[in-house]
Structure 1
């Protein structure tokens, strides 16, 4: 568990409060994971007109091949992130399903989740992380650039896809 500090009140104004953020490992097929993925996919539909069609499966996120993390505040699941091995790039892991529920945004949770996933991947021996996001997700583009990711050409499924922006970072 880590202690998260975030501004509360309208528009993020007001006192800084502290609460405990419990980040737990979950199986891909668990109901809460599927609920968070469904919410994220609904956002993709709004932003892009369709769900993310990149191929994923439960085995992708089963250790040691990968993992799925969910952040909890008390009984509320507030954010998620997953990573999976990139088969044709030894030592490389891919970020998937980084999501923060709307009521919990603008509190630094995406950054905390990303850093926590990177730390776990580093501990598992991965040396590089890659990811794909899209042109209609400016908050994601800003997050990844701010966390030291460099833009790279599209890879794998994303090579040549309109609206895709790919990034990489050494661990």
Structure 2
């Protein structure tokens, strides 16, 4: 089991997990050298736009997962959702998504949106099981040819997140 703790964007554990994510994505998309895995610097995530950052920790305080939210118009956008490979399939992603949903409700968002890539089918399945529905690719991700975008309604008045189904 893991516990999600709110952290600053520049927290060392959060930064290390984002770096691990970038390394993994570069490997997944290595045969597409002309397709960027991240937005150009001028369109990239500004740390000042981040409204919430969470890091998942094991009982022995090992950082194993990361997620962040930033404002994207009236929506909150899920950014840099990542779980270390050794901890996938252990419920960390569900715990992170529950924490994201709760934070979005506390921040007053009506919807969470996200972008992921076509070579991240595990992430796509996880989001769909959590209730996220496909939506058209939204800016600024229209410059990333492999983008897949999703959204989930947030009901701030509810006190529990939507049920995440876990395969047997």
Are the equivalent residues in 1 in contact too, given 2:57–2:63 (CA < 8 A)? Answer: yes
Indicate the SS of the match to 1:130: strand
Residue 22 of structure 1: how far off its partner (Å): 2.6
Partner Cα separation in structure 1 for residue 120 and residue 77 of structure 2: 18
Aligned residues: 145
- 1:63-114 deviation digits (Å, cap 9, x = unpaired): xxx111001112210111111111xx32x10000111111111112112101
Gaps of 5+ in 2: 31-35, 155-168
Cα root mean square deviation, aligned: 1.4
Q: 1:60 aligns with which of 36, 49, 53?
A: 49
Instruction: Give the structure 1 partner of residue 152 of structure 2.
Output: 169
Larger gyration radius, structure 1 or structure 2: 1
Structure 1's unaligned 5+ residue stretches are: 5-20
What SS does the corresponding residue of 1:159 show, helix, strand or coil?
Answer: helix
- Check if 1:27 corresponds to 2:8: yes
Partners in 1 of 2:116 and 2:76 — Cα distance? 15
Q: Distance in 1 between matches of 2:5 and 2:144?
A: 33
Normalized per residue, which structure has more strand? Answer: 1
Report the TM-score, using the length of structure 2 for normalisation.
0.81
Q: Please give the alpha-carbon distance, in whole angstroms, between the structure 2 residues aligned to 1:149 and 1:51.
A: 22
Q: Which of 7, 14, 25 is 1:44 aligned to?
A: 25
